[in-house]
């Protein structure tokens, strides 16, 4: 027997109230930078059903073809006017910049957010900023970015992830073509994190109260080596894969084909820190925000098996 209409309505009301309570209730306007990227795309998808999301990209047509949600807004970190339009009147902003050789990008977004009345900035930084021995270019850039943000006087929350599990997607072509993974320091471990967890944390922090002035260290549930990741990917694609350890010189030469020299040096320094055990510690930021355990590399690999089979 179904509940009387009044009771059903009261139940619905109570559910809505509980959800509103949990989410802070209000429909917010949230600007997402890096919206076509790994973290931002998923954040947009999570927030768009309940909030007004402005998804920033340099190429709105391409982003729309790739299924980006929200209101897609053309903006370039080098173009202050486009950022001003995108930020005006937003309540909160997800800050994802990706070029350590362009610190002005961060300044431009922060200036536009401040002028546009944005109250809360949620910044994707990096866990290494808390580690004094990490002095590579990328980490120094993120450390300075955090200082820039704190100096604005706006409310801030820092998300500090360890390496994304999705970095292993770089291995997809050699897995698909040769069933081989080539990587540096095969037995060095890193507590890598599923970027979907980072996005879920970001969406929660952007849309609920209580996170201002806090920094969350985001890692996976265990440290895992490239050799072990290779074994998990083999299980995910359903055939054996060979692991070939690169020398630092071979890794450097491969990175030189893709990145400018200062970034190549930074990647080598970061890899050395991983080999020395500096990236193996597990942190509890995901549990603090989401109240659940972080996703394992095994699950990430299983969920992305098609990508490696089809590359
Ligand atoms: N990968 C890791 O292991 C790792 C670990 C720790 C921290 N992080 C941090 O995570 C952040 C990267 O996050 P992600 O992987 O989600 O990013 P991503 O996939 O690299 O995407 C970044 C997005 O930024 C946009 N973008 C680039 N230049 C732009 C410009 N000039 N103006 C406007 N938009 C621009 C691009 O969008 P359009 O091309 O559409 O404009 C791109 O989709 C970085 O800050 C990095 O330091 C990464």
Tens of pLDDT, residue by residue over 56-66, are 999 999 999 99
d(CA 308, CA 216) in angstroms, rounded, equals: 31
Give the position, in ligand 1's atom list, of the atom nearest the Cα of 62.
40
Give the position, in ligand 1's atom list, of the atom nearest the Cα of 102.
31
In this structure, are residues 174 and 243 in contact, taking their beta carbons and an 8 Å threshold? Answer: no
CA distances from 109 to 4, 47, 84, 274 (A): 53, 21, 8, 31
Residue with the two structure tokens 């339009």: 85
Rounded (10°) CA dihedral 138, 140, 142, 146: 180
- What average pLDDT does this structure show over 240-245? 98
Give the position, in ligand 1's atom list, of the atom nearest the Cα of 195.
16
Distance 10 CA to ligand 1 centre (A): 45
pLDDT computed for residue 311 by the predictor: 66
192: nearest Cα among 157, 168, 158, 159:
168
Tens-place pLDDT, residues 30-54: 999 999 999 999 999 999 999 999 9
Contacts of 140 by beta carbon, 8 Å cutoff, 6+ apart? none
Give the position, in ligand 1's atom list, of the atom nearest the Cα of 192.
3
If you take atom 26 of ligand 1, which residue's CA is the nearest one?
Answer: 34
Q: Which of 32, 37, 41 to mutate to test the pocket of ligand 1 (most atoms within 8 A of CB)?
A: 37
Query: Helix H segments across the chain?
Result: 5-23, 38-47, 60-65, 80-87, 103-115, 137-151, 172-178, 195-207, 226-237, 248-256, 261-275, 285-290, 297-303, 305-310
d(CA 41, CA 147) in angstroms, rounded, equals: 26
Tens-place pLDDT, residues 155-191: 999 999 999 999 999 999 999 999 999 999 999 999 9
Distance 63 CA to ligand 1 centre (A): 14
238: which DSSP letter?
A: T
pLDDT band per the 50, 70, 90 thresholds, residue 14? very low
d(CA 296, CA 235) in angstroms, rounded, equals: 14
If you take atom 33 of ligand 1, which residue's CA is the nearest one?
Answer: 76
Tens-place pLDDT, residues 246-260: 999 999 999 999 999
Mean pLDDT of the chain: 93
pLDDT computed for residue 24 by the predictor: 53
Distance 98 CA to ligand 1 centre (A): 4
% of the chain exceeding 90 in pLDDT: 91
pLDDT computed for residue 234 by the predictor: 98
- Is residue 12 scored above 90 in pLDDT? no
Contacts of 30 by beta carbon, 8 Å cutoff, 6+ apart? 47, 51, 52, 53, 54, 90, 91, 92, 93, 94, 206, 207
- Is residue 2 scored above 90 in pLDDT? no
Residue 71 tokens read as 């209101």
Q: Which of 96, 128, 194 to mutate to test the pocket of ligand 1 (most atoms within 8 A of CB)?
A: 96
d(CA 207, CA 27) in angstroms, rounded, equals: 9
Tens-place pLDDT, residues 262-306: 999 999 999 999 999 999 999 999 999 999 999 999 999 999 999
More confidently predicted of 103 and 5 = 103
- Is residue 23 scored above 80 in pLDDT? no
% of the chain exceeding 70 in pLDDT: 92
If you take atom 7 of ligand 1, which residue's CA is the nearest one?
Answer: 126
Neighbours of 298 (CB within 10 A): 17
- Is residue 230 scored above 70 in pLDDT? yes
User: Is the minimum distance from the CB of 50 to ligand 1 under 6 angstroms?
Assistant: no
Distance 36 CA to ligand 1 centre (A): 8
Q: Which of 31, 32, 33, 34 to mutate to test the pocket of ligand 1 (most atoms within 8 A of CB)?
A: 34
If you take atom 25 of ligand 1, which residue's CA is the nearest one?
Answer: 34
- Is residue 19 scored above 50 in pLDDT? no
Instruction: Give buried/exposed letters for 122-143 (b at 16+ CB in 10 A, else e).
Output: bbbbbbbbbeeebebbbbbbbb
């Amino acid at each position: 027997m179904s509940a009387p209409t009044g009771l059903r309505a009261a139940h619905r009301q109570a559910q809505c109230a509980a959800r509103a309570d949990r989410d802070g209730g209000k429909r917010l306007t949230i600007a997402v930078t890096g919206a076509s990227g790994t973290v931002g795309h998923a954040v947009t998808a999570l927030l768009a059903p309940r909030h007004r999301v402005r998804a920033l990209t340099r190429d709105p047509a391409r982003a729309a073809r790739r299924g980006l949600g929200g209101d897609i807004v053309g903006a370039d970190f080098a173009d202050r006017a486009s950022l001003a339009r995108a930020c005006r009147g937003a309540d909160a902003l997800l800050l994802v910049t990706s070029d350590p050789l362009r610190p002005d990008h961060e300044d431009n977004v922060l200036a536009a957010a401040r002028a546009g009345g944005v109250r809360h900035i949620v910044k994707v930084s990096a866990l290494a900023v808390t580690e004094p021995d990490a002095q590579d270019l990328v980490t120094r850039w993120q450390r300075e970015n955090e200082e820039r943000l704190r100096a604005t006087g706006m409310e801030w929350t820092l998300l500090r992830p360890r390496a994304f599990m999705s970095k292993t997607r770089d291995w997809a072509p050699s897995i698909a073509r040769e069933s081989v993974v080539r990587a540096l320091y095969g037995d060095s471990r890193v507590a890598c994190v599923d970027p979907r967890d980072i996005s879920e944390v970001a969406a929660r922090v952007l849309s609920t109260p209580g996170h201002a002035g806090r920094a969350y260290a985001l890692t996976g549930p265990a440290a895992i080596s490239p050799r072990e990741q290779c074994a998990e990917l083999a299980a995910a694609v359903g055939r054996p894969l060979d692991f070939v350890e690169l020398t630092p010189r071979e890794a450097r030469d491969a990175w030189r084909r893709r990145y400018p020299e200062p970034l190549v040096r930074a990647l080598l320094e970061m890899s050395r820190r991983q080999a020395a055990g500096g990236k193996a510690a597990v942190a509890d930021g995901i549990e603090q925000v989401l109240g659940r355990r972080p996703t394992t590399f095994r699950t990430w690999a299983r969920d992305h098996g098609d990508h490696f089979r089809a590359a």
